[in-house]
């Protein structure tokens, strides 16, 4: 599926890929704006994780929380949808997370 960004998304920095089995330490309550996401610490990195990616306090799959930096009007290919966030690839081949609320169908 292709989408187009309707506003800029600055992202929150680059993160490494965390491998399945890596410990996830919850650092707060579920987000009120993005249901089924919560703040956590993974290998010393403060980030957020969808709760469905964690089983028994460990990642159930490989996970890279890096957000995709995008400008209004960018065309993105959606690779996955998880609780109101998209994993998308831009036209330069860069992959990252972007909230569904900043895109429309292209």
Please tell me the distance from the alpha carbon of residue 7 to that of residue 48, in angstroms, as a whole number: 22
Q: Give the residue, 91 or 106, on which the prediction is more confident.
A: 91
Q: What percent of the chain has pLDDT over 70?
A: 100
Instruction: Give the model confidence (pLDDT) of 30-57 as tens digits.
Output: 998 999 999 999 999 999 999 999 999 9
pLDDT at 106 over 90: no
Across the chain, mean pLDDT equals 97
- Spans of all domains in the chain: 2-12+67-105, 25-59
Question: Cβ(3)–Cβ(89) under 8 Å?
Answer: no
Q: What is the arithmetic mean of pLDDT over 67-84?
A: 97
CATH 2.30.30.40 holds for 2-12+67-105: yes
Residue with tokens 């081949």: 93
pLDDT band at 59 (very low <50, low <70, confident <90, very high): very high
Residue with tokens 């490989």: 62
Please tell me the distance from the alpha carbon of residue 38 to that of residue 35, in angstroms, as a whole number: 8
Q: What is the arithmetic mean of pLDDT over 12-39?
A: 95
The answer to whether the pTM exceeds 0.85 is yes
């Amino acid at each position: 599926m292709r989408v187009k960004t309707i506003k800029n998304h600055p992202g929150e920095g680059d993160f490494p890929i965390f491998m399945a089995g890596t410990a996830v330490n919850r650092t707060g309550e579920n987000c009120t704006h993005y249901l089924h996401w919560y703040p956590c610490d993974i290998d010393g990195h403060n980030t957020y994780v969808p709760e469905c990616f964690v089983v028994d306090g460990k990642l159930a799959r490989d996970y890279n929380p890096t957000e995709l930096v995008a400008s209004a009007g960018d065309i993105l290919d959606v690779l996955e949808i998880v609780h109101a966030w998209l994993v998308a690839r831009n036209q330069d081949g860069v992959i990252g997370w972007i909230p569904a609320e900043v895109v429309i169908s292209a």
